[in-house]
Amino acid sequence: MEKRSENKEPLKIYIHTFGCQMNENDSERIAGALIDQGAEFSPSPEESDLIIINTCAVREKSEEKLYSLLGRLESIKKRKGLKIAVVGCVAQLYRSRLIEKKPFIDFVIGPDNYREMKHIIADHFKEKIIATSWSQEWHEVSHPQIFRESHISAYVTIMEGCNNFCSYCIVPFTRGREKYRPMENIIGEVKYLAGKGYKETQLLGQNVNSYKDPETGMGFSGLLRKVNSIDGIEWIRFVTSHPKNFTIDIAKVMKESRKACHQLHLPVQSGSSSVLKAMNREYTREEYLEKISILRDLMPDISLSTDIIVGFPGETGKDYQETLSLLEKVRFSNIFSFRYSPRPLTAASLKKETVPFDQKKKRLIELQNYQKKLQLELNKSFLGRVIKVLCLGKSKKDPSLYSGRNEGYQVVNFKSEDNVIGHFVDVRIDSCGPYSLIGEVTQ
Ligand code: 5AD
Ligand code: SF4
């Protein structure tokens, strides 16, 4: 950073993150690298020298959020002369076109170029820079440097990119092909986190089940076994799993490993085999349900969540009803549901949209209400039970309550006499809503 400022004032950075856990972890890594170079966090965009916006391109709406934030920042930039970096998936997608569209942007940096950020920013602070190249190698970030939001639960990236090309998805075009982090480095990072007192780790990647150690060829179930043997970490989770790559072997390791939470996010996208085929998902409704049944046979208490897209081109009323019936059959503890949004470069964007906007909207609202009813039923089955909860902080809505997650990754808000942040506690559940369980710490 010295080259940037002669008077040695630390660079003040402000980071705004859109999107998934991968983006959150990327922002933690970017912040860490810049802080290591002497930068400091700024409490607001107005007081910063550099605003970094980490973007998501997965749906049109995510992109619109970026433009509305940029609209607000443009006037601050005019007044204060600060620098703006747009990084992540939207940066990778539009490259120089982003600066053509919004000339007040200073840096456009794609997901495979974050390691360059500290140099770009130190050496070229006065120039506009576009860095969106790809490389096939894994670039390790020094993990002690990572600036983590939480001191209790830590994200650990194990792979990047995706080879699947689901027909609706922009990710393979923004994050490139799969590359895997050496297992030794993953284990080193988890051991380090355990030493720092972290209780939980979430292994991250677009498609974690296809993980393969570049040195030994060991797959994801082997990695899970190794992470399970690290003392200190109590709970292990992982996202995201593709149903076609989720094997019985992984399910067995989840069952056998004491620390792997009996919880799985397994995005189905649709309950109709013909829509799944058009989405290029490479499994049928029946195959998905078969995997769920095997998982439940092995782990009857497993908590499942999923992603759903409604209104994909060609989705008929019958296809949509099949999605509702799949929700009814599986009884997910949580879902993330979206209206189909055509994205540049994807195969589906060439298809004619057959479900009108209002119909998509109607289907989404109906589906979400249906799931809300199912979730409330499921949550009611917890009433009177005592469950183990990892306390992550205070409840945002009601600061008189603590908040955490149970093994199934459900939100649990609860009363406690003592400050239990960062601890596992037993909570007796005495009420619930569709999106949370509510209770009190038992003595
Ligand atoms: N339209 C709507 N939803 C999408 N997703 C990915 N691409 C699209 C799109 N074009 C959803 C999928 C995926 C989640 C991260 O975002 O459900 O699993
Ligand atoms: Fe996108 Fe499919 Fe890859 Fe997931 S598996 S990131 S939905 S292409």
- What distances in angstroms separate CA 29 from CA 32, 113, 158, 182, one per listed residue? 5, 12, 14, 17
Q: In this model, does residue 144 exceed pLDDT 80?
A: yes
- Please, is 361 exposed, middle or buried when counting C-beta atoms within 10 Å of its C-beta (0-12, 13-18, 19+)? middle
Q: What is the pTM of this model?
A: 0.95
What whole-number distance in Å separates Cα of residue 287 and Cα of residue 357? 30
On whether both 398 and 428 belong to a single domain, the answer is yes
Nearest to 101 by CA among 46, 63, 132, 47: 63
CA of 57 to the centre of ligand 1 (A): 10
Which amino acid is present at 33? A
pLDDT of 64: 94
pLDDT of 3: 44
Q: How many domains does the chain fold into?
A: 3
What is the per-residue pLDDT across 306-333, written as a single tens digit (0 to 9) for each?
999 999 999 999 999 999 999 999 999 9
Q: Calculate helix-pair angle for 317-330, 357-380, nearest 10 degrees.
A: 10
Note whether 200 and 193 are within 8 A (CB).
Answer: no
96: number of Cβ within 10 Å: 11
Percent of the chain topping pLDDT 90: 90
* The two structure tokens encoding residue 88: 């992540």
- Which CATH number goes with the domain that contains 392? 2.40.50.140
What whole-number distance in Å separates Cα of residue 43 and Cα of residue 74? 18
pLDDT of 7: 53
Bridge partners, residue 429, by sequence? 439
What is the per-residue pLDDT across 230-285, written as a single tens digit (0 to 9) for each?
999 999 999 999 999 999 999 999 999 999 999 999 999 999 999 999 999 999 99
Dihedral angle of Cα 22, 28, 34, 35, to the nearest 10 degrees: -170
Asked whether residue 195 is domain-assigned, the answer is yes
For residue 337, the enclosing domain spans 143-380
Percent of the chain topping pLDDT 70: 98
Note whether 234 and 424 are within 8 A (CB).
Answer: yes
Dihedral angle of Cα 221, 222, 224, 226, to the nearest 10 degrees: 170
What whole-number distance in Å separates Cα of residue 423 and Cα of residue 116? 37
Ligand nearest to the CA of 353: 1
DSSP codes joined into one string, 313-346: TT--HHHHHHHHHHHHHH--SEEEEEE----TT-
Asked whether residue 7 is domain-assigned, the answer is no
What is the per-residue pLDDT across 419-441, written as a single tens digit (0 to 9) for each?
999 999 999 999 999 999 999 99
Average pLDDT of the chain is 95
Please compute the mean of the pLDDT values over residues 21-41 and round it to a whole number.
Answer: 93
Q: For residue 124, what pLDDT band results from cuts at 50, 70 and 90?
A: low
CA of 190 to the centre of ligand 1 (A): 30
- Which CATH number goes with the domain that contains 71? 3.40.50.12160
CA of 337 to the centre of ligand 1 (A): 8
Asked whether residue 136 is domain-assigned, the answer is no
pLDDT of 14: 96
Q: Is the CB of 312 under 6 A from ligand 1?
A: no
CA of 207 to the centre of ligand 2 (A): 7
Which atom of ligand 2 has the smallest separation from the CA of 170? 1
428: number of Cβ within 10 Å: 15
Asked whether residue 138 is domain-assigned, the answer is no
On whether both 112 and 231 belong to a single domain, the answer is no
pLDDT of 221: 97
Note whether 266 and 299 are within 8 A (CB).
Answer: no
What whole-number distance in Å separates Cα of residue 229 and Cα of residue 320? 43
On whether both 375 and 391 belong to a single domain, the answer is no
On whether both 308 and 400 belong to a single domain, the answer is no
pLDDT of 2: 40
Q: In this model, does residue 84 exceed pLDDT 70?
A: yes
Asked whether residue 2 is domain-assigned, the answer is no
Asked whether residue 95 is domain-assigned, the answer is yes
Q: Which of 309, 327, 334 to mutate to test the pocket of ligand 1 (most atoms within 8 A of CB)?
A: 309
On whether both 360 and 437 belong to a single domain, the answer is no
Q: Whose CA is nearest to atom 4 of ligand 2?
A: 206
Q: Is the CB of 169 under 6 A from ligand 1?
A: yes
On whether both 260 and 402 belong to a single domain, the answer is no
Q: For residue 143, what pLDDT band results from cuts at 50, 70 and 90?
A: very high
What is the per-residue pLDDT across 181-221, written as a single tens digit (0 to 9) for each?
999 999 999 999 999 999 999 999 999 999 999 999 999 99
Q: In this model, does residue 1 exceed pLDDT 50?
A: no
Q: In this model, does residue 385 exceed pLDDT 50?
A: yes
On whether both 80 and 32 belong to a single domain, the answer is yes
Ligand nearest to the CA of 340: 1
What is the per-residue pLDDT across 399-409, written as a single tens digit (0 to 9) for each?
999 999 999 99
DSSP state of 116: G
Q: In this model, does residue 126 exceed pLDDT 80?
A: no
pLDDT of 199: 98
Ligand nearest to the CA of 344: 1
Please compute the mean of the pLDDT values over residues 129-156 and round it to a whole number.
Answer: 93
61: number of Cβ within 10 Å: 11
On whether both 274 and 247 belong to a single domain, the answer is yes
On whether both 214 and 260 belong to a single domain, the answer is yes
On whether both 209 and 339 belong to a single domain, the answer is yes
pLDDT of 270: 98
On whether both 16 and 150 belong to a single domain, the answer is no
On whether both 287 and 321 belong to a single domain, the answer is yes
Q: Is the CB of 269 under 6 A from ligand 1?
A: yes
Q: Which of 92, 206, 270, 307 to mutate to test the pocket of ligand 2 (most atoms within 8 A of CB)?
A: 206
Ligand nearest to the CA of 175: 2
What whole-number distance in Å separates Cα of residue 315 and Cα of residue 354? 8
Please provide residue 7's backbone torsions phi and psi, each rounded to the nearest 5 degrees: -85, 5
121 versus 326: which is more confidently predicted? 326
